[in-house]
C-alpha cells in the first residue's frame, strides 16, 4: 500500500471522527498531530494526511458546495459520515492538488468507500466525483 493511500485513510479517520463527534476538524487534526509525533515510522503518510485535512479545512465551503451541487438530490447532512469524508478528500484532490491525477483521486475514493462504507457507496461516490471532475 502506498504512503498516499495510507495518508488518505488517516485523513478519512480524522475527518470522520470530527464529523461523528461534532468536533471542529482542526481539533481532530491537532489530536492526530500529537499522536503522529510518537509514530516516526508513519511520518510519510502523516505529512500527506495533514496536507489533505488542511486543504479540506481551507476550502471546506467550496468543497461542500461542489459535493452538494453534484450529488443529485442528496443533502450533505443526509449522506453517511464516511461518504462525506471520502468525498471531501477526493474533491480537494481533484480541485486543489495538481500532483494527483483526477482518475487516481476518484479510484482511491471508490476504494475507500468499498472498504469503509455501505454497498451502495462506491457507485454513489464515483458518480458524484465524476460530475465534479467534469465540471472542473
**Across 100-125, average pLDDT:** 97
Average pLDDT, the chain: 93
From 30-34, 55-59, 105-109, the region with the lowest mean pLDDT: 30-34
Domain locations in the chain as residue ranges: 3-135
CATH superfamily ID and name for 3-135: NusB-like (1.10.940.10)
Q: Which tens digits make up the pLDDT trace of 43-67? A: 767 889 999 999 999 999 999 999 9
3-state DSSP: the chain helix, strand, coil percent, rounded to 5? Answer: 80, 0, 20
From 39-53, 60-74, 76-90, the region with the lowest mean pLDDT: 39-53
32, pLDDT greater than 90: no
pLDDT of residue 36: 79
* Per-residue burial over 20-39, b = 16 or more CB atoms within 10 Å of its CB, e = otherwise: eeeeebeebbeebeeebeee
Amino acid at each position: 500500500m502506498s504512503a498516499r493511500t495510507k495518508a488518505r485513510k488517516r485523513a478519512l479517520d480524522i475527518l470522520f471522527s470530527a464529523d461523528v463527534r461534532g468536533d471542529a476538524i482542526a481539533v481532530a487534526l491537532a489530536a492526530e498531530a500529537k499522536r503522529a509525533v510518537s509514530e516516526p515510522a508513519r511520518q510519510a503518510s502523516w505529512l500527506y494526511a495533514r496536507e489533505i485535512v488542511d486543504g479540506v479545512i481551507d476550502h471546506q465551503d467550496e468543497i461542500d458546495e461542489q459535493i452538494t451541487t453534484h450529488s443529485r438530490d442528496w443533502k450533505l447532512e443526509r449522506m453517511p459520515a464516511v461518504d462525506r469524508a471520502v468525498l471531501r478528500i477526493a474533491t480537494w484532490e481533484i480541485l486543489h492538488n495538481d500532483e494527483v491525477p483526477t482518475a487516481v483521486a476518484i479510484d482511491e475514493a471508490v476504494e475507500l468507500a468499498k472498504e469503509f462504507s455501505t454497498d451502495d457507496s462506491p457507485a454513489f461516490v464515483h458518480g458524484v466525483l465524476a460530475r465534479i471532475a467534469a465540471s472542473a
